[in-house]
Structure 1
């Protein structure tokens, strides 16, 4: 090898190194996460503020990287071609130079560096950001022209300004976090509940009309406690003449407070303590009502159906439970909607939502003109059940095990049931 070829090799080496450097920097830049870099900048990690600013203007950074990368790749291919022409002649030199330089640049200048950039984006780009900033200033006039062309093309094609993450991307991240163990099960459940929070309607979570205990206007303290002994609720809608004519809500704590202050006796009218209540459509979303309750400070609302009838009651506590899960009253543990007997047998509340039952117990009960497991049972049996009534849906056996009058209180569910054994 003569000294001319040695000079070419010396020139080729920095071209290849620069090609690898800018290729890896490009991959690293595109792999950075904005939220992560912003957090690092807020924590004053060295170099994070500079990188965060660069991420806000990708149309300025990427043209510089690509411009320099193309320049060094072109220089490498040209030098390699000239060197081989001098060694083996023009015809063979051009052919072999094209093949060999393409392979070298593809492997050492593109594939390997970009793999490294994707794997270690933060460490690599924090190192290269100073150099890229310097190249921006050096190539500013050319980069400015490229930026202008990019903006014109982006305008013609329609700019696509997306949020950092779509809802589906966040849901996928939660699922991956749960599987990897980096997100605890209860944390993942709460995050998933947040997404459902804005979509669910009040009629899916409210205490339905049949479960409400209404008291008539004019009820005295003695009569109130007789009702309370049978129905230990903390809230009682108060009506006048017609149960559809709700005047407000009577809270147990208000009654007890009036007794403690000596303002209420056996013959005293408890309904003078009632609080005003808002009426909302049962189709209103949980998220919307939650925001309204926060604004006005109310904690209770009456849900009304399309015909103007009372369909149920909704409390701020119920709305909150849609995110954090069941919350008991003061000094009480929350009631669970199901009890696991073994991996295939569960005792559940008849009022458990179909969607929740499917998710919690890994069932596949169909949706229909009902919202609860009790509704599903009534539709399938076609009658008011008695204790012991049962049927099999697919491989799921449902048995009515407890009723109060006509209300299905408890249901025993057996998964993977073999109907041939009956």
Structure 2
């Protein structure tokens, strides 16, 4: 074997592997992280950020570089393999066509493994880091090949637009939720577990625009309310008993809410409830929480009535309830700090049915499904499709839910056994 041709084969394989790996890394990379590296002034970040804004140039360079490398590889490999194949092949295959077929098979097998499968598998595992490492050499190759790349990209645009009559999209990329989540997760992995809380807040903020009002409201059954025709003395007593700063006021039924009263208004010594009534914002269950938060700020309000599709009262939501969706639990007058949450034995729990499914899944690492319901009671009702009686049980996968107590038509306490 000629060592000269062997060296050239190895060099051409290296560049083919580099271009293949850079192409798959560029497609898989987190674009937001690259853009931030560029903003931080890093040379590699600026180089990659410029390619992010012109992806056609990067892909064109990769494809052109890979093509040239493979052509040179094929030529050098032919010179390298022909002498030993002429000596080793049996007489039946020892012809020009036979040698060419064997050369093609051997060369293809080698290039598929060493210049395609292996580099792409490596680069896709950590695309951003490898892109950064090879960014400067790649930029040098890009400028050396720029005239050829410019012609190839131009011809590609011409064929796409003029021949195939398709639209050529060369817009700057928009950063998605996936880019944000991936960036935060990578940053958290490098900094350790101290950033858990900050990361959770960031994730909540990213998902906040999809949160509906029904996901953070206080349900109808927990609303403390009073009829507008009741006496001021009754209202004062209800403030004391409930400990709330605001009381919902309705006319005849809870489905006809007309406003609320603030306890400070009692210092004005009103003659009737209607004299201190504050109008309330009314929103549907499907309203977006972020839009309601903006409305709260604009109107200097902090409480809204949530209605269902038929106009009936579904619950109430406060500014604090919405903010909790980002920052986590904040204790207020409507929060129940007496919710039962006990582990009575291995695989056995006693829980208030008002616990949220998200809370239970996070605390106990369960995998209870999510749906139209928010709480454990809602999940059980979705399984039974009726109001279960005390002592009744229902199963779901490894979970067995037993109704321990209930109040009227509401499930109060549940015993969960996991098999």
Given candidates 325, 329, 334, the residue that maps to 2:332 is 329
Deviation at 1:101, TM superposition (A): 3.5
C-alpha change, 1:277 and 1:98, in structure 2 (3 Å) is same
| 1-structure distance, mates of 2:179, 2:361 | 21
TM-score of the superposed pair, with normalisation by structure 1? 0.72
RMSD after superposition: 4.6
Given candidates 65, 68, 73, the residue that maps to 1:76 is 73
C-alpha change, 1:73 and 1:209, in structure 2 (3 Å) is closer
Given candidates 182, 207, 211, the residue that maps to 2:218 is 207
Q: Which runs of 5+ in 1 are unaligned?
A: 418-422
C-alpha change, 1:296 and 1:20, in structure 2 (3 Å) is same
Corresponding residue for residue 141 of structure 2? 135
| 1-structure distance, mates of 2:49, 2:232 | 66
Corresponding residue for residue 415 of structure 2? 413
| 2-structure distance, mates of 1:374, 1:97 | 68
Are residues 1:105 and 2:111 paired? Answer: yes
Q: Is contact 1:399-1:412 (8 Å) kept?
A: yes
| 2-structure distance, mates of 1:61, 1:345 | 58
C-alpha change, 1:85 and 1:344, in structure 2 (3 Å) is closer
Deviation at 1:401, TM superposition (A): 3.0
| 2-structure distance, mates of 1:115, 1:243 | 62
Deviation at 1:108, TM superposition (A): 4.1
Deviation at 1:60, TM superposition (A): 0.7
C-alpha change, 1:80 and 1:380, in structure 2 (3 Å) is closer
Aligned pairs (5 A) from 1:355-374: 362=366, 373=377
Corresponding residue for residue 56 of structure 2? 59
| 1-structure distance, mates of 2:40, 2:9 | 42
Q: Which runs of 5+ in 2 are unaligned?
A: 88-94
SS at match of 1:250: strand
| 2-structure distance, mates of 1:15, 1:384 | 73
| 2-structure distance, mates of 1:141, 1:353 | 61
Q: Deviations over 1:19-78 (max 9, x none)?
A: 344344434434432122222222223321111111222211121222122223212322
Give the count of matched residue pairs. Answer: 398
Q: Deviations over 1:64-114 (max 9, x none)?
A: 222122223212322332455567497265345434433443444444444
| 1-structure distance, mates of 2:400, 2:413 | 12
TM-score of the superposed pair, with normalisation by structure 2? 0.73
Q: Deviations over 1:90-143 (max 9, x none)?
A: 726534543443344344444444445445645544454334333333333332
C-alpha change, 1:271 and 1:384, in structure 2 (3 Å) is farther
Q: Is contact 1:345-1:412 (8 Å) kept?
A: no
Q: Is contact 2:32-2:180 (8 Å) kept?
A: no
Deviation at 1:316, TM superposition (A): 1.5
Corresponding residue for residue 94 of structure 1? 100
Deviation at 1:279, TM superposition (A): 1.8
| 2-structure distance, mates of 1:366, 1:55 | 37
C-alpha change, 1:301 and 1:369, in structure 2 (3 Å) is closer
